[in-house]
Structure 1
Amino acid sequence: MGNDVYKIIIEQLKEKNAKVILDAEGQALKYGIESLPYLIKPNINELKTIVDCSENLEDIKEAVREFVEKGIIVAVSMGENGALLFSKEQCLYSKPIKINVKSTVGAGDSMVAAFAIGIHENMSIEDTFRLSIASSTAKVTKEGSQAPDRKEILKYIEEVEIQRR
């Protein structure tokens, strides 16, 4: 597939009024962003492949400003350093929850799945972000690609600390 495959798919889905979440890396992410998806979810290393930034909050905020100004919500996962969410209205930071990490396989996918649920259920962006953090946290407590169940995810919802930045 070409680097523009997500760009083409996003354009087609947006014609049907779909809200698209893009979770990709490298050139596929860069080209996909051109079609203005609803939300992108790079991890910090994936973000660094398309923009010049450090892991400093202000640096990341400046690096994603262009995307946010175009209306894209940007969620940046940073592993043990937490996660950030940028929209036109706000910048949110979630501290990491202290847990015993068994596997990071699927953590980003769990986060994206929670964003999809939050969007589908018309949850606020802050509640959706909270659900995404709880979902990815619950996932990393599981071995390999084993998924957490709803009860495990809900257990972490109350522990998610979100700060406005």
Structure 2
Amino acid sequence: MKKTVLTITLNPSVDKSTSVQNIVPEKKLRCDRPKYEAGGGGINVSRALKRLDIPSDALFTSGGKTGSMLENLLKKEELDILPVHLGSETRENFIVVDKTTNQQYRFGFPGETFSKNEQDEILALIDQISPAPDFVVISGSLPGDVPADFIGFFIYKYKARGSKVIVDTSGDALKVALKEGVFLLKPNAGELAALVGKEELENADLDHAAQQIIMQGQANIVVVSLGAQGAVLYTATEKIQMVPPLVKIRSTVGAGDSMVAGMVSVLVNQGTTEEILRMGIACGSATTMAEGTALFQKKDVDRLYNEVRKQ
């Protein structure tokens, strides 16, 4: 029986991207026609999974005109969506590329907080989704003044229902996820350092920190993203490090979410740990080749998959 996937995005966005010739201060800048795409951690994971022919349900908050635009964008991509309608407006993000230097400027706006009643409504949806999904991906930031503990309710409830929880977040929310314990955790090196109370980690310290998390039962798999240097996957018995092939980087927006989607696609198909990491890096690298806020093309993933190498 095919494994099922649910993604959860508590702070989604509509990403507006454009480009301009030579960004300079105190001057009116003539931008190219803007492009609008759905954004937010879990939403991007669902969008990427769709490109890998893996169906998923996308649960996310939605409010106001921007929320309506977000829902319409996702319907155009033929995603299965579970919007929770709020009284506050869904946020926008703004991305500009300077065509003179090819440098990208990313402006992220904070999401509006939601009320206690709205939090209860979101949590109530968990019990309504039946049967429980095999994999639950909680990805992205928390909006406004929503406490980090809120993410812990999702983890607790879905673990109790037998789902394998995958988390890609940061800050206090990441610490809460670690406390609850998850199936797969995907921090970058800086986030992993913060989890163990250090400013940065050397390679040996990186190994120790990841293995300590696993030994303490806080995660079955830890995948540490190293940016252009690739990533390292840890389990109780394995350490696998891989590096991506060289590609022309146009944008890094959505690369981390695409990496998560690649890994989830292999988990759904019950692949090996090596395949999990290889597909994750291939999807993340392929997304950096896309312009603006676009995600990868499947043909690029297929090509890059065999070019990812072990280190």
Same fold (TM over 0.5): yes
| TM-superposition CA deviations, 1:1-33 (whole Å, max 9, x none) | 211122211111111211111001011001111
The residue aligned with 2:228 is: 80
State the superposition RMSD in angstroms.
Answer: 1.4
Q: Is 1:68 the counterpart of 2:214 in the alignment? A: yes
Q: Is 1:104 the counterpart of 2:249 in the alignment? A: no
The percentage of counterpart residues that share the same residue type is: 31
Greater strand share, 1 or 2? 2
| TM-superposition CA deviations, 1:49-84 (whole Å, max 9, x none) | 222263432110111222111143111111112211
Q: Structure 1 stretches of 5 or more lacking a match?
A: none
Q: Is 1:4 the counterpart of 2:149 in the alignment? A: yes
Question: Residue 20 of structure 1 aligns to a residue in which SS?
Answer: strand
The residue aligned with 2:189 is: 44
Check 1:132–1:83 CA distance in 2 against 1; reply closer, same or farther (3 A cut): same
The residue aligned with 1:136 is: 284
Q: CA deviation at 1:48?
A: 2.4
Question: Residue 303 of structure 2 aligns to a residue in which SS?
Answer: helix
CA contact (8 A) 1:53 1:63 kept: no
Q: How does 1:24-35 map to 2 (within 5 A)?
A: 24-35=169-180
Q: In structure 1, which of residues 157, 161, 165 is the aligned counterpart of residue 305 of structure 2?
A: 157
The residue aligned with 2:203 is: 57
CA contact (8 A) 1:53 1:59 kept: no
- Kindly name which structure, 1 or 2, has the bigger radius of gyration based on alpha carbons: 2
CA contact (8 A) 2:185 2:221 kept: yes
Check 1:144–1:55 CA distance in 2 against 1; reply closer, same or farther (3 A cut): farther
The residue aligned with 1:23 is: 168
CA contact (8 A) 1:25 1:49 kept: no
CA contact (8 A) 2:151 2:177 kept: yes
The residue aligned with 1:89 is: 237
Name the amino acid aligned to 1:83.
A
The 1-side partners of 2:164 and 2:179 are apart by 15
Q: Structure 2 stretches of 5 or more lacking a match?
A: 1-145
The 2-side partners of 1:46 and 1:57 are apart by 14
CA contact (8 A) 1:97 1:160 kept: yes
The 2-side partners of 1:53 and 1:12 are apart by 33
Name the amino acid aligned to 1:54.
E
Greater helix share, 1 or 2? 1
The 2-side partners of 1:49 and 1:5 are apart by 20
Number of equivalences:
163
Q: In structure 2, which of residues 274, 279, 284 is the aligned counterpart of residue 126 of structure 1?
A: 274
Name the amino acid aligned to 1:11.
Y
Check 1:72–1:5 CA distance in 2 against 1; reply closer, same or farther (3 A cut): farther
Name the amino acid aligned to 2:207.
K
Please identify runs of 4+ aligned residues in structure 1 that moved more than 3 A: none
Question: Residue 49 of structure 1 aligns to a residue in which SS?
Answer: helix
